[in-house]
Structure formats: C-alpha cells, structure tokens
Structure 1
Amino acid sequence: MKRIAVYAGTFDPVTLGHEDIAIRGAALFDEMVIGIGINPDKQPLFAPEERQELMQEIFRETSNVTVKCFTGLTVDFARSVGANVMVRGVRTVSDIDTEFTMALANHTIAPDLETVFLMAAESYSHISSTLIKQIAFMGQGKSAEQLRKFVPEPVMAPLLDKVRNSG
C-alpha cells in the first residue's frame, strides 16, 4: 500500500520552516501532497494560484511532492488524494495545544486518517508567515537580506513585489 501524506496550510507566504517540514515529510512517505487551503475568513497576501506556483517551484526537483489547492475540510482533501496521513509542523508549546485539538477533531471526523507531528528545526521554530509579512512591510520592501533568512529564494521577488505594490 502506497503511503500518501498531506501537508496542508495556507502558506501565505511559504517559509523556510514550511519547506523544511515538507522535505522531511516527503522523506518519510511515498508521496507528499502539499495542500494549499483556501480560507474565506483570511485575507491572504498571495492568491491561491500564486502560492501553488511558488510551492511547485520550490519542490520542482522533489519527485514525490505535488501541490494542490483546496477548499473545505482538510480531512476531505486528504481523502480525495488517497492520503492516510496528515503531516503537521509544530514550532512552539502553544502550537502543540492548537495542533492537538485539531488532530483530535480530525480523528473524530476521519478515524482512518492519522496525524503525524514533525517538530520544527530549531533554526526555523520562530518563523511564521505573519512574522515574514511584518518584516517585509515594516522594512518597506528594502528587507531582502533579512527575508533571505526566512523564506525560500523563489519567494523573495514575488514577496518584495507585493510589498512595493501594496501602497
């Protein structure tokens, strides 16, 4: 039986921490499907298609990683791609509380799906998409060197373009 995992999130923008979790997850499973969730309650910086293109660029040389957008429940998306595992990254103790609650709810809805937690690498445990946006916007788009420490190279130019064109 093929071991297919889903790593879902909004990834707005994708960070080095997201990339690290996806690469490590891809090493554990036959196939890793990155699911870019479309949450109507959020106002994303990047459109879903833009996030998908960035992710595809980042993982173009990782043969067992595919990237898809989805709406609705993550468990439904996981089932639609034939996954039996959902991978979640955990950075902090507060993440553990939130992720544990979500994993319990997901297990209640879909007992056939397992959740696997991967601890963030120490060098990425402080990175969040919110932090990246703050650095980019407060640095007035002049923060390329700072941003390189937080986001994959393919994200740099599009992120700086978004910041420059936002005003």
Structure 2
Amino acid sequence: MNGSEPPRPGRFRGARTLRPVRGARAALAGVLAALALAATACTAPALTAEAYRHDARQSAVDLLAVVRTGVLVAELAEDEKAFQPYLDVSVGNAEGAARSIADTFGVLQPPTPRCDGLRERMTGLTSAATSGLSDLRIAIRRGDRAGREKAAESLRETASGLTEVRKDLR
C-alpha cells in the first residue's frame, strides 16, 4: 500500500500490522459485565445485625460532624464573622458530604427485620440533614436571614437526634 490506494477492509490507512478484531462483541460484553460488577461492589453488605448497627453508628457520627459544620456556618453568617464565599463553599461541601453519607448508608440492606426500625430512624435523620443543609445553602446564597435561622434550628434538632442514635448504639 503506497498511500494512494484505498485501504483494504479491516485495515486502517498507515497501520500495516492491525487486523480485524475477532470476538469484539464477546470482549465488549465481558468489559460491561466487569464494570457492572465493580459498580455494585462499592459498599460491602452488612451481613449481621451487629455489623449493621456498627455501620449505622459510624454514619451517625460522620453525619453529626457534617451537621454541626452546618450549624457553625449558620452562626458565622449570623455574627458576620466570615465572608460570603467561605460560607457558600463550606455549606456546599457539608451538603455534599451529607449526601454521600446518606447514599452510602441508604444502600445497606438491613440483615434482619429487627434492624428495620434503625434503618427508618437513620433514613429520617439523613434526609433531615441533607434537607437542612440544602435549605441553609439556599438561605445563605439569597442572604435570607429568617431562612438561615430556620435551617440552623432544623440542623440543631437533627444533631440532637444523631447524638441520641450514637449513644443508643454504643
């Protein structure tokens, strides 16, 4: 092939050693199957009630830290002790962390029916945390003092609930 001839089927211009790929469909199916397995293997299942309680407690501890960050951001905004960009980024990061914690715990299946109550309790608290942080973010960006105070109060209540869960699961 000197460059002026059209390429032969199954070959690319200038690539003299390439040959048609055989079994491309099988290879693609294998890659897709591997990706599907990898995507579903991100969170290990809680196989026992004790493991589930441990995961719930750790989620409560992590979420409590994020919620308290939100309360602190609201207090800094109220006292005008931080610049707007700092408040905005801080509450946005806290909201993202809360969503991540909620998603991670939310995919855990309770191993026994006795754990269903704990799941409902934690799901309510994770929802309250993400909602409260979202409300705080919106209020801070709008400069809405009343909305900020309402969100902060909601976050304080959520923090109280998370503290109770943490104590109950010792």
Q: Give TM class, smaller chain.
A: under 0.3
Q: TM-score, normalised by structure 2?
A: 0.25
Higher helix share: 2
Higher strand share: 1
Q: TM-score, normalised by structure 1?
A: 0.25
Which of structures 1 and 2 has the bigger CA Rg? 2
